[in-house]
Every structure is written in structure tokens, then in C-alpha cells.
Amino acid sequence: MLTILYFRLDDHHPKPMKNTLLSLFFLFSIFALAQGNEHHDIDVLIFRADYQNALIEVENQLDTQPGDPATLCIKGRILRGMGDVNQAIQLYEKALQKDPTCERCLADYALYFMDRSDLKKADSTIKLIRAPKLAYTEYVLAKLDLKNYSISAIIHLNKSIALDPMMAEYYGVRGSYRLANGMSLTAKTDIDAGRALDTANLFCKLASARLHAINGDLIGARILCEGYLKADSSIAVLSLYSNILHHLGRFEESDAAIREAIAFSGDNQDLHIQWAEQYYDREDMDGVCEQYTALLPLLSGPENAEKRAYLQREQEQLCNPNRSSYYYQRGIAAYNLKDFETAIETYNRGLTKFPNSAMMLSFKANALIKLKSYAAAIPIYQKSLALRGTIARETADNSPDYSEQMGASTVLYTFVADIHMSLMECYQSTGQPELALTYADSGVTLMESLLGNSGITPYLSSAYVMRCELHLVQGETELAKADLKKASELDPSSTVIPLTRVKIILGRYRLNDFHLFNSFAVYSLDEIEKLPSIDYEDLREDYSSEDLQLALKECNNVLEVEQSALGYFYRAHIKKILQDPSYLMDLRAAENLGQVLSYPLLGEDRG
């Protein structure tokens, strides 16, 4: 109650009353401090990663209390932070021989096992404390819960703060927990409270940088981390700094930071996992394999058996050139990087070893479509369909988790339906609209047959959208609207559907201008120059203001949810019709997000 009162004090209270309340609060805090952590000042230094000064303080305490088990363990914690793990373990064991029930010793020893990723040993050690009395114990219990993704973490964090309300670390950890669970406002309150108590607390500083990153301010997060690194090149700061640089696309600097963290930590498992995830995120499969190779020897103990088995399976899928998955994973990586030529080369190498891989054939055809090689893609898709009997086995071999989750029949149906929808695109783009419609109908029918599985509804929604766009290109507006209505009912949160509504509105009167919105056409600059120019004066007469405002609203709705290149492009087109000069800002945004031909499509010079 007094803690709440303290944070709500303001100048509306009479000064004497306010001072009395503050005095009561600090008296309460001192009492809580005595109950919660008699080593508070040393812990403050530890949580700052100021191990040199912490060691001086703990030696002073040992001079007055020689052999005190709790103080010996705190010294072990400090030495561990300084990299002397062996001496730290000796101190833990010596202290526990003196007092096997020492709460601080058991909590610190559990934290040591946790930092080694031995969660079972950490759990069994902390459970030796029958009735926790220390704020520090509640803090360690919370950290263990966080490692185990348990919601009980917040309960232990609340208890640690109640026992020691003046410890910045506890607010920082609770703030980070809330941040990870999407509670940015309450997270900021905790982080600010921690920073107010101790501006040098490492966890609060890291939490502040994470808050900047989560709010989209990666530059601000980077600047904060660089400031922290001037004072302390700790593992935690280097790890976060590496992750921020990674998301900024500064990969060499990111790798250097995490490499330094690994060297300092003595091969920390979590850092290798983070590095592998960063490589995976940037589509660097060889980098992922490099980290898997470095990580496996660190998982030798029985406590890591489950993690080791999972990693070995992942390594076999991704890193063994005698597996088809080796090639299609690298092909997918190149495809995601929009390097479609490399993707095709990778699939070709794989197909020399596995010529009857239906999955790899379909992936190769997908890449050909991106290069507008529609005619070349058709026979490859047809061959993949002929080999569809192998797809369930291929998926089970190469993506066992996905295969188990979806089931063999669902995997097969979605694979075949996806190819049918791709063939629709190929036939429409090669001037065969009847065949395009045939494959669109069969693809949708296949998807509809799977409606009993709720997990498939986004796929069906996507199929309806694709057929809707085919109807639009063929001038069948009412059929397009019917398909879009079905898609919207299945996936109401989709941002593709509102943009397709915009296509329907804008394509209603001006099908000869439909090259702006034709999903089946990918243009080069030379081809755009040959397209008929858009007469915006004429357009202003053709469109009703109601239609234009409705289309504008749909674009705005999408752009409130996500940064969409198409959303900005369509909105620019509408604004140009409405003679709103801000359309140029939308064109620039569309191009920055990858809609690289936005300017010429609207007949604009970048200036």
C-alpha cells in the first residue's frame, strides 16, 4: 500500500503530509530491505556488472563474518561474473557443506545451473529451499520460470519487489517480461522505476534499449547499446547489440558483436542459438549449419539430451547434401532474397540427385514464374503433379513437424491445390484464359474439400482471392466480388482482401487501365513504356467520388495495420485522381518498400 502511495504522490498533497508519507515509505523500504536482502548493496553492484567493486565489498564482509555461507556464495557469484567459474563452484560447494539449507547459496547455485542451460538441475536445486524468504530467491525462481515460459514468473517478480522494493533489477526483469508479452505501457512504468532507482543497473538499461527496439526505434536502441558498451562489454549487452545490428541489416558488425560475446562467455549455448537464428533470418543456411556444428559439442550432458536430439535432426535436414531438403531449403532462401536465378540453379543441382522430387520441381516452377517464364513453368508443374504420390513421404522426411501437424492427406491436397492455382496464373499469363479458369475452379474445389480442417481456411481464402483476381482480369466483376466475399468471411483480418476490393472499385470502369492492378503481369521498364498512358483528367470524370473515397478508406485501413507497398501504390493512384499532391509521398513510400516501378506505372518522373 505504501509503495503504491509513493508512486502516486504529487503536489496536490500538502507539503508536511507529503514529507510524512515519504518518511513512512522509506522506513517501510528499509524494513523490507532488511527482511528481503541483507546483501542489497553488493547485489546492486553485481546487477550493474561492477564486479571489481562488488568483490571489494564482499571481501570486507568476509573480514567481519569469516566463512559466512551466504557471503561465500555471493563471492562465488561475483567470481563467476569475472569468468572464474571453477573457483566459484568451489565456493558454492564449500558454503553448502557448512550449511546445506543456506537459501542464498541454493539460489545462487540454481542460477549457475540456469546460466549453463541445465534447467533440470537448476529446478532441483531451487526446490531444496522449502519456504523462500529472500527477494533474491523469488528473483531466481522468476528467471527459471521465464526460461521455462511459465506465467508464474510474474508472481515471483511481484514477491521479489514486495520484499525488496528498492532493487532496480527486479523492476527491470518485470518490465522485460511485460514487454515480451505485449504490455508496453506497464513495461515502461517498471523500466522507468528501475532506472530511477539505479541508472547504472544493467538489466534496466537493456530493457530500455529493448523498449526502443520493440517500438520501432532501432537507431535509438543501437545508440543506447553503444553507450552501454563504453562502460561495460558484458555478454548481455553484446548479445542485444548484435540482435539490433542484425535487424538494421548491419550483418558484419552484428556477427562481430556476437562473436565477441561468445568468446567472453566461453561458448554459451544461448548465444550460438541466437547466432543461428540470425543467420536463418537472413537466409544464410551455411551460417546456420556453422552454428549447429559449434553448438552440438556443448550439448553433451544428459540434461541436454532432448535439445541435442532436436538439433541433430535439424542439422540432418539442413546441412546434409545427401538430403533433398539441403537443396530446397537453400533454394527457398535464394527465392526469399528475390535471387530467383540462384534459386533455380540450386533446384537444378538438387534435381540431378533427386529427379523425382515433386516438391523441388514445384519450387523450381515457382521461381520461373517470378522470372515471367510462364511457358517454361507449365510442364514442370505438370511433372510435379504426376509425381504427387511422393509428396506426403517427402514432406514427412524433410518437414516432419509440419507433416505431423497437418496430416498426410492435408499436405497432399494443399500441395496439389497450390499447383493448380499456380497453373491458373501460368495459363492466364500465356493467353489461355479457359484453361486458367479450369485450374482456378479445381484449385478452389480442392481447398473447399478440406474445410473441415480449420487450419486450412487461410489457404482457401487465398485461393478465393486468386480466382477473384482472375475474374477481374477477365472482366467478370460480379464473380470477383462473390469470391472476395467468401475470402473475407474465412479470413477477416487479411490485408490482401481490402486491397483486392480496391482493385474491384478502380477496375470497374477502366479495364484498359487494369495493367496497374493486374497480379498476373510483371512488367519491365521497357514494357511499361509501351503501355497506354493514363489520362487522369478522363479518370476524374469516370469515377464517382463515393467510389474513390471508399477505395481510399480501404487503403487507409490496410496502412494502419501494416506497411504495404501495394497499399501505398494504390493510394497514390487514388490521390492523383483526386488531385491530392501528397500522392508523391505515397509513391516514394511504395518504392522504398519494394514497389520499384511505381513511378513509371503512374507516368511519373522521379525528379
Domain positions in the chain: 495-607
What's the one-letter identity of residue 607? G
The confidence score (pLDDT) of residue 380 equals 97
Tens of pLDDT, residues 471-517: 887 878 888 889 989 888 888 888 888 888 888 887 654 444 444 55
Q: Give the residue-averaged pLDDT of 65-93.
A: 90
pTM of the model: 0.70
**For the chain, how long is the longest CA-to-CA vector?**
92
Cell numbers 488531385 correspond to 579
- Whether residue 190 contacts residue 177, with contact meaning beta carbons closer than 8 Å, is answered with no
What's the pLDDT score for residue 386? 93
pLDDT of amino acid 37 = 59
Please count the other Cβ atoms lying within 10 Å of the Cβ belonging to residue 265: 19
Q: Which residue has the higher pLDDT, 525 or 335?
A: 335
Cell numbers describing residue 351 = 534435381
Cell numbers placing 564 = 504495404
Highest mean pLDDT among 15-24, 28-37, 330-339: 330-339
Q: What values do phi and psi take at 150, rounded to 5?
A: -100, 135
Average pLDDT, whole number, for the chain?
A: 83
- In our burial notation (b when 16+ CB lie closer than 10 A, e otherwise), range 49-80 reads bbbeebbebbeebeeeeeebbbbbbbbbbbbb
Q: Give yes or no for residue 280 having a pLDDT over 90.
A: yes
Q: What is the pLDDT of residue 35?
A: 45
The CA dihedral of 53, 57, 63, 68, to the nearest 10 degrees, is -120
Write the pLDDT tens digit of every residue in 383-415. 999 998 888 788 877 777 776 777 777 778 888
Whether 433 contacts 474, CB under 8 Å:
yes
How confident is the model over 179-224, as pLDDT tens digits? 888 888 888 999 999 999 998 888 888 889 888 888 888 898 899 8
CA trace torsion 539, 540, 544, 550 (10° rounding): 80
Report pLDDT digits (tens) over 111-128: 998 887 788 899 999 999
288 in the Ramachandran plot: left (φ > 0), alpha (ψ -120 to 50) or beta? Answer: alpha
**Does the pLDDT value for residue 258 go beyond 90?**
yes
| Confidence label for 102 from pLDDT (cuts 50, 70 and 90) | very high
**CB 578, CB 548: distance < 8 Å:** yes
How far apart are alpha carbons 458 and 167 in whole angstroms? 47
Residue that the C-alpha cell 469516370 belongs to: 542
The per-residue pLDDT for 556 is 92
The answer to whether the beta carbons of residues 184 and 216 sit under 8 Å apart is no
pLDDT at residue 353, as a whole number: 94
Higher-confidence residue of 290 and 412: namely: 290
Work out the average pLDDT over 306-312.
Answer: 88
Q: Phi then psi for 217, rounded to 5 degrees? A: -95, 75
Nearest to 540 by CA among 585, 579, 494: 579
Mean pLDDT over 575-598 rounds to 81
CB 592 within 8 A of CB 521: no
